[in-house]
Amino acid sequence: MIRARSGWQAVNFAELWRYRELLYFLVWRDVKIRYKQTVLGAAWAIIQPVMTMVVFTIFFGKFGGMAEGSNIPYPIVVFSALLPWTFFANSISQGGNSLVNSSHLITKVYFPRLLIPMSTLGAPLLDFAISSGVLVAMIGWYMATGVDSIVISPQLALLPVFLLITILTAFGVSTLLSALTIAYRDFRYVLTFLVQLWMFASPVAYVLGGKNGVPERWWQLMALNPMTGAIVGFRRSITGEPLLWDVIAISGVSSVLFLIAGVMYFRRVEQRFADII
């Protein structure tokens, strides 16, 4: 008699590796679904952050005075933060509903369920790669027009580190939300509201420090948000400004805690998915 194991379960990395081909096909499925029967196709990966940048530049930069007192062009400030944020927001939006949307698979065949929220990172990561080309073009244009504050610094080598922090945070939050959505369907409606609130709690349209930025006394509190360190590190690696290592360290620890909590809760309730889905 085969029985579901109860209690806390460790992640079986060997099993995940054996099912790596399934992960590939799940990612490819999400990519095809994302752009199937669309007029603009992959251009949506550019349109979304670009239009958001335009809106933020007008309302926060010009009318809100956020662009004042900064040597870095405000569109660069916003777009360099929108890249990791858009990836994170799209990942948790898709990942939170991933188990419900894959109920036909869960109830019919066995495979490591952790692959489902993991696979939802693929399409947003592709969007991130496409929209990164826009940032490169913007930096090139500002440098060509003689904006001296835009420089290529060695800090650019740290971009993969902050992208990794963003990926780990997105995976941890997506895993937690996907498991909660199975048990409590209300989370499907909370998810959109949560993403909106989380964006304004993260330094996307504003910066830490500076004339109109967040005062230093609030930095450590904001760093409890794992996306604060990821966004600040990503932005300052591009602009060449000094990195705020204390903020990055606190956010990094918070990101790891989100990952551990999400995976542990997912593994604890994983055996009941097929029964309650």
Residue 260, φ and ψ in degrees, nearest 5: -65, -45
Average pLDDT on 196-222 reads 88
pLDDT at 159: 93
pLDDT, residue 193, reads: 87
For the chain, what's the residue count? 277
Nearest CA-CA partner of 227 in 92, 124, 119: 92
Return the axis-axis angle of helices 187-200 and 74-96, rounded to nearest 10°: 160
Q: How many CB atoms lie within 10 A of CB 4?
A: 10
Higher pLDDT, 210 or 88: 88
The mean pLDDT of 35-49, rounded to a whole number, is 75
What is the model's pLDDT at position 2? 40
pLDDT number for residue 274: 57
User: Residue 69 in contact with residue 210, Cβ under 8 Å?
Assistant: yes
- Is the pLDDT at 210 greater than 80? The verdict is no
Whether residue 33 is predicted with pLDDT greater than 60 in this model: the reply is yes
pLDDT of residue 118: 93
Whether 125 shows a pLDDT value over 90: the answer reads yes
Average pLDDT over the chain reads: 85
Say what the pLDDT of residue 5 is: 52
For residue range 161-178, what is the model confidence (pLDDT) as tens digits? 999 999 999 999 999 999
- Mean pLDDT, range 57-72, rounded to an integer: 81
Q: Write down the pLDDT at residue 87.
A: 95
Using DSSP, state whether 8 is helix, strand or coil: coil
Q: Is the pLDDT of residue 259 over 90?
A: yes
Per residue in 138-152, pLDDT (tens digit) is 988 888 887 666 777
The whole-angstrom separation of Cα 266 and Cα 264 is 5
Nearest to 97 by CA among 197, 195, 226: 195
Instruction: Write down the pLDDT at residue 148.
Output: 64
CA atoms within 13 A on the CB side of 197: 6
- Average pLDDT score over residue span 80-102: 91
Q: Where is mean pLDDT largest: 56-65, 82-91, 143-152?
A: 82-91
Task: Give the pLDDT of residue 277.
Answer: 63
Spell out the residues 6+ positions from residue 77 whose beta carbon is closer than 8 angstroms to its own: 67, 70, 207, 235, 239
